[in-house]
Structure 1
Amino acid sequence: MSVPDKLISRIPKIGEQRDRGEVVAVLKLNGVITPHPSPLARGAINLSALESALTRAFEHDKLRAVALQVNSPGGAPTQSGLVAERIRQLAEKKNVPVLAFAEDVAASGGYWLACAADEIYAHRTSLVGSIGVVSGGFGFPGLLERFGIERRLHTAGENKARLDPFSPERDEDLEWLHKLQTQLHEQFVDWVRQRRGDRLSAAEDLFTGDVWLGSKAAELGLVDEVGNLREVLARRYPDAAIVVAEPKKPLLARLGLGAPAAGLVDAVEHRLLWSRFGV
């Protein structure tokens, strides 16, 4: 048989379908949750970056389950909610269970993502929780005064320049920020209660922003069991093939190109988020 004939023989005939067997899709959720990833970013989570991977994870004909491999210190609350809601939409459409596996960190927005799953597993050393809201910055009004720099800020609307870092803090701005954080915190708590239900322990206040190791998180009901992805999937779905879906790397990252300074600010910000959890 000639080479062209061999190639043609490998093309499925019309109507022919190859049986790939049952599948468990693993979706990697690794990095800081941010709406504005750098073109060079290799570890950023947002709905735009994840949409194609989400679609691939849920599109298999013989899908048994989807596993979320979560390793995130959190980040933007809106993107956390958007990604989690999209996971639920696809899971309900396909009527398949979703299992989340916390790795080093599933904290803050990372835990929000994990709660999109029907079951959550963590390694005994994983950091889990941080159900709270934080914002931070710097203030420089004294620095300007020291160097004789005049700050010129012009707005239409008395609250347009709230929390400007070069202006003294105002009590009314801090009160506004506290109300905003409280509202976000309440939404986070409602989501956790909705997803975890009566599995949550009533023994401790779970919503103070604290984090726990995976073994303690299991006692508190924040996760269902201590375990890792490989052993749990092998036990639950021994005959299923494991396929991985993850966001495509940006073009410059795939080519290994780009100046290091291009993503310096993002890199520092991301490093600070990870360092809050000692990783």
Structure 2
Amino acid sequence: MDRYKLLSWLPLKRFREPPPVVSVLRLDGGIGPGGTLRRGLNLKSLAGPIERAFQPKRLAAVALVINSPGGSAAQSALIAKRIRQWADEKQVPVIAFVEDAAASGGYWLACAADEIYADEASIVGSIGVIFAGFGFVGLIDKLGVERRVHTAGTRKAILDPFRPENPADVETLKTLQAEIHEGFKAYVRERRGPRLKGGDELFTGEFWTGRRAFELGLVDGLGDIRSQLRARFGEKVQLRAAIRERRGLSRLLRPGLDTSELASDLLAVGEERLLWSRFGL
């Protein structure tokens, strides 16, 4: 049979171009060290998934699904930087989709994307730096407990919760917070540029709904991942998850579990719960 007749006889679908691929990377939870009871978003746990997200053939984009109340500023910056490094190397666009929240460090992560979309009811913003703690001076006095601290270095024990607050310690903390805040603001301005429709009020730590964030230029539109990607890349677009390591009950029951690690994890879970509660979530 003539080869041209053969080609015309074969089903055309065999020669159709395969659909584009979009890698989906979930950034879910507080940002910081992980543990037995929570994974935590940090560069150590995300370096592998981020790299895998940029490896598929026919890759049209990488989608970040963000649901985070924030956390560590350093880890936020490191994760965002790693995403941008791969995006620039592979020349692949990154699109972020906000679920419940992209607040504080969560918004820092969203700004690693070229475009950001949110739901109308998403919480977006909180571009600021916070430190929260407790003072137990009156409590240990009532209990008759004597606090003993010995340091080499006069500022080594600043902000000790069992000692009266020292104005000099507070000033040091505020200086650190101001430096981190300036870095956060600079990154948002660099990534969002002229799309921002506000001034200094965007950087007070206030947060908004997705709809208001769209009006302020903090996000590029309202929508969900499936609708947006199908509209952009076609109904046949393939969404592939860049899976992170699972932490199940087996880790909790493993032999030799360090109870001090478990106690630390319980505190971390409580701190993350407080982060979420700030946004009514």
- When normalised by structure 2's length, the TM-score is 0.87
Matched, 1:182 2:184: no
Pairs within 5 Å for 1:192-231: 192-202=188-198, 205-231=201-227
For residues 249 and 52 of structure 1, the distance between their equivalents in structure 2, rounded to whole angstroms, comes to 13
For residues 169 and 60 of structure 1, the distance between their equivalents in structure 2, rounded to whole angstroms, comes to 54
- SS at 1:246 equivalent: coil
- In structure 1, the partner of 2:94 is 98
Matched, 1:165 2:181: no
Deviation at 1:206, TM superposition (A): 0.4
Q: Does the CA contact (< 8 Å) of 2:36 and 2:252 recur in 1? A: no
Query: Among residues 27, 30, 43, which one is paired with 2:28 in the alignment?
Result: 30
1:165 aligned partner, one-letter code: P
Q: Does the CA contact (< 8 Å) of 2:210 and 2:219 recur in 1? A: yes
Moved over 4 A (4+): none
- SS at 2:157 equivalent: coil
2:26 aligned partner, one-letter code: K
Matched, 1:258 2:245: no
2:241 aligned partner, one-letter code: V
Pairs within 5 Å for 1:102-121: 102-121=98-117
Structure 2's unaligned 5+ residue stretches are 1-16
- SS at 1:71 equivalent: strand
- In structure 2, the partner of 1:268 is 270
Deviation at 1:61, TM superposition (A): 2.1
For residues 256 and 84 of structure 1, the distance between their equivalents in structure 2, rounded to whole angstroms, comes to 28
Deviation at 1:146, TM superposition (A): 1.6
For residues 190 and 204 of structure 1, the distance between their equivalents in structure 2, rounded to whole angstroms, comes to 12
Deviation at 1:56, TM superposition (A): 1.1
- In structure 1, the partner of 2:47 is 51
Deviation at 1:265, TM superposition (A): 1.6
For residues 116 and 87 of structure 2, the distance between their equivalents in structure 1, rounded to whole angstroms, comes to 15
Q: Deviations over 1:204-253 (max 9, x none)?
A: 71000000000000000000001111110010111421101131113xx1
- SS at 1:61 equivalent: coil
Q: Deviations over 1:58-114 (max 9, x none)?
A: 001211000000000000000000000000000000001000001000000000000
For residues 79 and 185 of structure 1, the distance between their equivalents in structure 2, rounded to whole angstroms, comes to 14
Q: Does the CA contact (< 8 Å) of 1:127 and 1:212 recur in 2? A: yes
- When normalised by structure 1's length, the TM-score is 0.88
1:37 aligned partner, one-letter code: G
- In structure 1, the partner of 2:9 is none
Matched, 1:154 2:150: yes
For residues 226 and 47 of structure 1, the distance between their equivalents in structure 2, rounded to whole angstroms, comes to 28
For residues 157 and 250 of structure 2, the distance between their equivalents in structure 1, rounded to whole angstroms, comes to 41
Matched, 1:69 2:69: no
For residues 168 and 272 of structure 2, the distance between their equivalents in structure 1, rounded to whole angstroms, comes to 30
Cα RMSD of the aligned pairs, angstroms, is: 1.8
For residues 182 and 146 of structure 1, the distance between their equivalents in structure 2, rounded to whole angstroms, comes to 36
